Structure 1
Amino acid sequence: MDIVVMVSQVLLYVCFSVLLGSFLLLLVPSNNRPEVIIRKRMLFISAITLPIFAFIPVLDIIVLIAPRLGLFESIKIVLTTYSVGNAWNFTLFGSAILVFLIVIARSNEKRIFAFLGMILTVGLILTIAWSSHAGSINPTTGIISHFVHLTAVSLWVGILFVVGWCAINYNNWIEFLSWFSQVAFGCLVATGLSGLLLTDVLVEGYTDAWMVSYGQGLLIKHLFLLPLVFYAFINGFIVKYKLSNDATFNPIPWVRVESLILFVIFMITAVFSQQSPPHGNYLTSDAVSPIFRLFHNGMIDSSSTIGFVINLDTVIFFILSILLMGLMALSFYKKASIIVSFLFSCLVVTSIYFMVMMATVVQ
């Protein structure tokens, strides 16, 4: 069931991204973006499956308590008394309105339709933030930070997804970059600040949390921000310079690479968000992450903390990380395929992760 929940959360985030990105691009004048084909069917599928994916964590709780209370009683209790169930009720209601809006929308009312759709989608993100781990620990800071975090990332990813995979040309690309760079920077800042608040709510001791699965996921997610910022810089500045000097340069593959890295971050978030956050007296021998055990197989208990040392392995992986970063930059210069560029990005993250793990010691 855990795998089903993780997959559902990835798809839920994709639905939010497709909806937010599509609605925003419909609001942007056609001379300020490339020509994109946003099919009504794509929006309809995203809207109608959104409450289904959002229901999977609710179903997980129902299945957990059903053996004691019975199926129908469990459904009733979860949907009427649990915050995750109450939040899903609003998700279902909001999604139904959004589906209805998509069905009745007319081609000559795109701007009104897009504006209302964007408001509804943001409202649906709020219902997900309401049912989050952070919201259950700290209803005010947790819900607000999760809402801002998911909204900013979904908007950023959504624009990249739609432009990267639905654009039929790269006309008006410089005009597109002039406003998207500002939006992406704003999303990056909002994501960073809200991420810090979320970490403060959910994690007691950032580095010590690496010993459990939630902390491992958080570390890997943050490491993927390095290639993300790299490609964001390329798409925001280097591509603009290249297009100014070479009108035949195709920028779309690099947008796709950036969107793939963001999708990986989505997947990592979906995986570790289903783990219990390291809050309170969480560290026991059984709670230690199997991945962390590969590097540190000694005694770990509630008094254990993480320190850092520099050794030969750390230096080797540091040098390897620098070389891989150079190859990642070279792949752009040589116009390599997006698979090659994406592979180098993953190798950079893997090398830095090994460097960090080799540098840690349990005290």
Structure 2
Amino acid sequence: MEIVVMISQTLLYVCFAVLAGSFILLLVPSKYRPELKISKRLLLVSAATLPVFAFIPVLDITLFIAPRLGFVEALKIVLTTYTVGTAWDFTLLGSIILVLVIVFARSTETSSLTILGAILTFGLMVTIAWSSHVSTIRPAVGITSHFIHLAAVSIWVGILLIVGWCSANHKNWLAYLSWFSIVAFGCLFATGFSGLLLMDTMVDGYTDSWMVNYGQGLFIKHLFLLPVVFYALVNGFIVKYKITKDAAFNPIPWIRVEGIILFVIFVITAIFSLQAPPHGNYLTADAVSPLFRLFHDGVITAKSTIGFVVNVNTVSLFFISILFFGLMLLSFFKRASIIVSFVFSCLFVMSVYLMFMVTVVIR
């Protein structure tokens, strides 16, 4: 069931990204963005499947208590008394309204559809934030920080996905970059700020959390932000320079690479969000991450902490990571395929991850 929940959460994030990105881009005047072909079916499928994917965690809890009460009674209790169930009730209601808006909207009502659709989409994000684990620890801070985090990432990723895969051309690209660069860095700041609030609530000691699955996932997620920032800078500055020198230069592949890496972050988030957060007395022998055990198989107790010692392997992996970073940059100037660029990005992240893991010592 865990795999099903992971997949559903990943697709849930994708639905929010598609909806948020589409509605925001439809609000932008056509002269400030490339020509887009956003399918009404895409919006409809995203809105219709959103409550389905959001229901999977509810089903997971229901199945857990069903053997004692029966499935129907367990489902009734979860939907009426559990926070995750009550929040899903509002998710379902909001999704139904959003589907009806999309279905019955006419082409002449695009502005009304866009405004109402955006309001409903961000309202649905609130219901997801309400059902999150962090909201049960610190309700006000938890819901607010989770909503800001989800909204910022959905806007950023959504615009990238829609522009990257629904653009008919790269017309008006400089005008598009003039506002999207600001939006992207604003979303990066909001994501970082809200992420710090979430970590302050969920994580007791960032580096020490690497010893458990949640901390490993969080660390890997943060490492993937490095190539994201790299491609954001490439798309925001180098691409702009390239287009001013060569109007035929096609920037869309680099938008797609950035979007793909952000999708990977979605997947990682869905995976580690199901793990027990490192909060309270979390560190036991059974709780230690198998991934962390690959590098450190010594005795780990509840009092263990992580330190760092630079060694030959650290230096070697540092230079290897610099090499892969250089290859990422070279792939841009050589106009390599997005697959090649993505592979170099993953190898860069892997080398940085290994560099830190071999530097860690248990104290």
For normalisation by structure 1, the TM-score amounts to 0.99
Task: Give, in whole Å, the separation in 1 of the partners of 2:335 and 2:219.
Answer: 30
1:361 is paired with a residue of what secondary structure?
strand
Deviation at 1:111, TM superposition (A): 1.3
User: How far apart are 1:281 and its partner, in Å?
Assistant: 0.4
1:205-220 to 2 correspondences below 5 Å: 205-220=205-220
- The question of 1:9 aligning with 2:18 is answered no
Which amino acid in 2 is paired with 1:296? H
- Structure 1 equivalent of residue 267 of structure 2: 267
Partners of 1:191 and 1:90 lie apart in 2 by: 25
- Indicate the residue corresponding to 1:319 in structure 2: 319
Q: Distance in 2 between matches of 1:72 and 1:179?
A: 50
2:40 equivalent in structure 1: 40
Structure 1 runs, 4 residues or longer, greater than 2 Å off: none
Residue 329 of structure 2 corresponds to which residue in structure 1? 329
User: Within 1, Cα distance between the matches of 2:88 and 2:352?
Assistant: 39
Instruction: Tell me by how many angstroms 1:113 deviates.
Output: 0.7
| Correspondence list, 1:74-223, <5 A | 74-223=74-223
Structure 1 partner of 2:72: 72
The one-letter code of the counterpart of 1:87 is A
CA–CA distance in 2 between the matches of 1:76 and 1:233? Answer: 50
Amino acid at match of 1:198: L
3-state SS of paired residue (1:275): coil
* AA in 2 matched with 1:94: G
Give the number of aligned pairs: 363
Q: CA deviation at 1:72?
A: 1.1
Matched residue, 1:289: 289
Partner of 2:361, secondary structure, is: strand
Q: Distance in 2 between matches of 1:71 and 1:247?
A: 61
How far residue 362 of structure 1 moved from its aligned partner, in angstroms, is 0.9
CA distance in 2, matches of 1:183, 1:107: 27
CA distance in structure 2 between the partners assigned to 1:304 and 1:311 by the alignment: 21
Q: Distance in 1 between matches of 2:133 and 2:107?
A: 40
**C-alpha offsets along residues 176-214 of structure 1, whole Å, 9 cap, x if unaligned?**
000111111110110010000011010000000000000
Quick one: distance in 2 between partners of 1:311 and 1:185?
A: 35
CA distance in structure 2 between the partners assigned to 1:10 and 1:191 by the alignment? 17
Structure 2 distance, partners of 1:311, 1:235, is 36
Secondary structure at the aligned position of 2:302 is classed as coil
Cα distance in 2 between the residues matched to 1:300 and 1:143: 34
Aligned partner letter, 1:331: S
Counterpart AA for 1:343:
V
Name the counterpart of 2:57. Answer: 57
Deviation at 1:161, TM superposition (A): 0.2
Deviation digits for residues 125-160 of structure 1, max 9, x if unmatched? 000000111111110111100000000000000000
* 1:68 Cα deviation from its structure 2 partner: 1.2
Matches of 1:105 and 1:326 in 2, distance apart?
49
- The amino acid across from 1:264 in the alignment is V
Residue identity (%): 68
Where does the alignment leave 5 or more consecutive residues of structure 1 unmatched?
Answer: none
Q: What letter corresponds to residue 147 of structure 1 in structure 2?
A: F
Are 1:252 and 2:252 counterparts? yes
d(CA) in 1 for partners of 2:16, 2:32: 23
| Alpha-carbon distance in structure 2 between the residues aligned to 1:307 and 1:187 | 32
**CA-atom RMSD, angstroms?**
0.5
Structure-2 separation of matches of 1:24 and 1:112: 13
> Is 2:236 the partner of 1:230?
no
Q: 1:109: how far off? A: 1.3
| Offset at residue 75 of structure 1 (A) | 0.4
In the TM superposition, residue 224 of structure 1 has moved relative to its aligned partner by 0.4
Q: Which secondary structure does the structure 2 equivalent of 1:35 belong to?
A: coil
Deviations 1:82-107 (A, max 9, x none): 00000000000000000000001111
CA displacement at 1:69 relative to structure 2: 1.4
Secondary structure at the counterpart of residue 295 of structure 1: coil
Query: How far does residue 333 in structure 1 lie from its aligned partner after superposition?
Result: 0.7
Provide the rounded CA distance (Å) in 1 between the counterparts of 2:138 and 2:302.
24
Q: Distance in 1 between matches of 2:133 and 2:315?
A: 37
Distance in 2, matches of 1:102 and 1:47, equals 9
Q: Which SS does the other structure have where 1:224 is aligned?
A: helix
Give the Cα–Cα distance (whole angstroms) in 1 for the partners of residues 52 and 144 of structure 2. Answer: 24
State the AA in 1 paired with 2:149: H
Q: Distance in 2 between matches of 1:68 and 1:301?
A: 35
Paired AA for residue 321 in structure 1:
S
Aligned-partner SS, 2:279 = coil
Distance 2:205 2:77 in 1: 35
* 5+ long unaligned stretches in structure 2: none
